[in-house]
Chains A and B, each alone.
Chain A
């Protein structure tokens, strides 16, 4: 890999690792110091207030989410970040190349 290419990925890589480390730290201490909350979000709150929690949990879904078996926050957090990076970089790589090919 050329030096210029290494430099291109150096800071993004450092930033991503910092984001993952910060996320792990926030998960580790966030609930303890009250910085994070496991309470329902706005939409869930409205539905729970109207129907109750059990109704919300029993809504029909045509599929079982592939990764819903992961209950550990740390694993889900890291996997989610890695998946997001891979999917977004892959998609925008394709978009950039297809746009350039059209121009040529």
Chain B
């Protein structure tokens, strides 16, 4: 879903850059209290590990039927681990590094961060919160509730991000909207399955081994 340079019209490009920058500044101020704690430096090595995992998963593409491929975006996954506001900054930085390799454009960075960081991270996170609250009515174990909610939330977030991406590229007239939306959403219905499975497995693994790294547990409201 990495938008290359030359695809978006100037107004869309500028607007999405401005929105992304505002959200990141807001994110800095609203980021969880965990970054203000006495021992918050302890988190930094683990942020390094998370960066390695996200880059590695984004680097490799899994096959999707119909001659297409997909890879993890990881917005929702990072949001569950570090919080929704921190996830926008993490995704933005990873997208900057990927753009150095030619994966996603530099002018389109604002749009890519909007789609993958803000839709994938913030919107995805609150979808997970919604599904956790629905699953609280069941007798499932805590880790299963969060795992299932992660799978559903990250899946919807990816399909939604593809829908938004289709609107962005059609605004500039590159592809008519009536073609862009069905095509983008169709492929991401399949690609999103990989996102859901990988995100859910990672969250389940962390819950089983180091549950304290799910720093948003209180925000998720899991019982």
Q: Which A positions have Cβ atoms within 8 angstroms of B?
A: 8-9, 12-13, 15-16, 19-20, 22-23, 26-27, 30, 34-43, 45-47, 49-50, 56, 59-63, 65-68, 70, 76-77, 80-81, 83-85, 87-89, 91-93, 95-96, 99-100, 103
Contact = CB atoms under 8 A, between A and B. Distances in A.
A77 B7 contact: no
Interface of B: 1-7, 28, 31, 35-36, 40-56, 59-64, 66-71, 89-90, 93-94, 96-102, 105-107, 162, 165-166, 169, 174-175, 179-180, 183-184, 187-188, 191
A34 B99 contact: no
B187 A45 contact: yes
The list of the 6 closest CB pairs from A to B, nearest first, reads: A59-B6, A37-B63, A61-B5, A12-B45, A42-B187, A68-B102
A38 B143 CA distance: 34
A19 B2 contact: no
B35 A99 contact: yes
B61 A36 contact: yes
B180 A46 contact: yes
A85 B66 CA distance: 34
A63 to B, nearest CB: 6
